Structure 1
């Protein structure tokens, strides 16, 4: 929720998201965090609201997240929370009255969805599901959620297809493919409302031990998603470390000894202690590691040496 409602300065529809947040409040938006999975047995679904189940939520650094298994489940948290923001805040059309805050953006989403469906870019091989969505007036919501999941790397590690996401129902599996395979979908993500990185502070599961990579590594399936994380907090007391990406990271250590890894040699960085106890480590090479703020981190590791902080 924090991610979707964090202002995106300079964007067309997201520079000030207070109108969307206020619409959600006015329209009675409720997120139901439910135990178990979506199998029809949880009576709390009758309370009314947008359900999100325990077994639909990955925790960064947890076993499911690191191994990226898709055996009967997937990370649906981005989709379900998006539905809440979309239905109650952004707004959907074809209702008796438009209840949202961003009618112009909804018009763009609707146009992209119509093209994607007509051109068989989305909803591939699922005519019964599309018919159901049509009756529910849910086509645009489900289309945008599909684009979002591929945009934030949630299908990158899926082995069921080399080219398609959402169980094969969407023509783009990763962000780069959206631009080439679904140009109107890519346009919805281009400086409109959604940040290119994830704005929340990801709390890495206490069970994790080793090097958590924010940099994409084709040999580490979870980095399809982790490459879009910006800020992380290590939890627990394992000796876990972080490999930075280029998003000006904020990295907080845990109770153990932690190292943050950078790409270049130590001479290519400046290290500055701050009055609040954090340390700013700035890469002097453009378009590489950016400016990182580290907190409770014992060492910075460079290609030539490790430096105590």
Structure 2
């Protein structure tokens, strides 16, 4: 939720999200964090009102569910928290809805949803579900969840379709797919409200023992998603490595011996250390960016490894 409600300076609807956050409070928005999974067996889940999010729908960066992109435990947190913000803050048009703070943005979401449904870009093969959503006035929310999930790489590792996301019902599996196959959906994410990267500090699970890559790597399915992170903190005591991406990364190590991995030779970077913080600047544009490192013991370049 922090990510969704972090201001996005210069964007059309998200430069100041306080109105959306305040509207959520006015609408008495409730996010329910529940044990187990959404299978009807949690008695508490049947008693509380609000947006549910179940334990088995949450992937923690660095945990095996995340690293293996286990769709049995699909990361539904982005979807469910989006519903929470969309329903209670941005607002939905039509019947059975609460007043929202961004009706103009919702109008764009609705137009894109109607276009996607009319042109068989979304809801593919889900006729009975679409009828149910129509009765609930939930079409725009579910469509937008497909858009946001694909935009942040949550379906890139799904192996059951090479081209479609959200269990095969949406044509945009990745950002590139969205730009080509659902340009109206892609436009909803382009400098409108949501950041192009993930703004929160990802707390990397203490169970990680090895490499966590922020750089897209086809051999590592989770990097479809982790490529949009830029701020991470390693937890625990294991000696881990982090591979940077093209953004300006902020990386904090754990109590073990931690190494940050770069794409070029050591002579292509400028390294400065002050007050226990090391800044590594890639002098090659659009490659490794400017990286701020804390509690990192080693820098690994393609030609050498430097001890800090």
The TM tier, using the shorter chain, reads over 0.9
Paired residues of 2:27 and 2:98 also in contact (CA < 8 A): no
Q: Which residue of 1 aligns with 2:62?
A: 61
2:300 aligned residue? 301
Please list the CA deviations of residues 241-260 of structure 1 after superposition, one character each: whole Å capped at 9, or x if unmatched.
10000110100000100000
Partner of residue 254, structure 2: 254
TM-score (norm 1): 0.97
Q: 1:95 to 1:308 in 2, by over 3 A?
A: same
Aligned to 2:215: 215
Runs of 4 or more consecutive aligned structure 1 residues displaced over 6 Å after TM superposition:
none
Aligned partners of 1:66, 1:42: CA distance in 2, in Å?
27
Partner residue, 1:236: 236
Structure 2: tracts of 5 or more residues without a match: none
Describe how 1:159-198 pairs up with structure 2 within 5 A: 159-198=159-198
Q: Name 2:108's counterpart in structure 1.
A: 108
Structure 2 counterpart of 1:273: 273
RMSD: 1.1
2-structure distance, mates of 1:90, 1:145 = 14
SS of the residue 1:189 aligns to: coil
CA distance in 2, matches of 1:240, 1:30: 37
State the SS of the aligned residue for 1:128. helix
Q: How many residue pairs get matched? A: 307
Q: Deviations over 1:182-228 (max 9, x none)?
A: 01001001000011110111111111111111000001100000101
Structure 1 segment 13-162 matched on structure 2, within 5 A: 13-45=13-45, 46-71=47-72, 73-95=73-95, 99-162=99-162
In 2, Cα distance between equivalents of 1:97 and 1:29: 13
Q: State the partner residue of 2:288.
A: 289
> Aligned with 1:224: secondary structure?
helix
Mapped to 2, the partners of 1:256 and 1:241 lie a distance apart of 10
**Structure-2 separation of matches of 1:40 and 1:55:** 13
Tell me how far 1:98 sits from its aligned partner.
5.8
Q: 286-295 vs 61-70, which deviates more?
A: 61-70
Q: Work out whether residues 91 and 97 of structure 2, in 8 Å CA contact, stay in contact via their aligned partners in 1.
A: no
Distance 2:250 2:27 in 1: 35
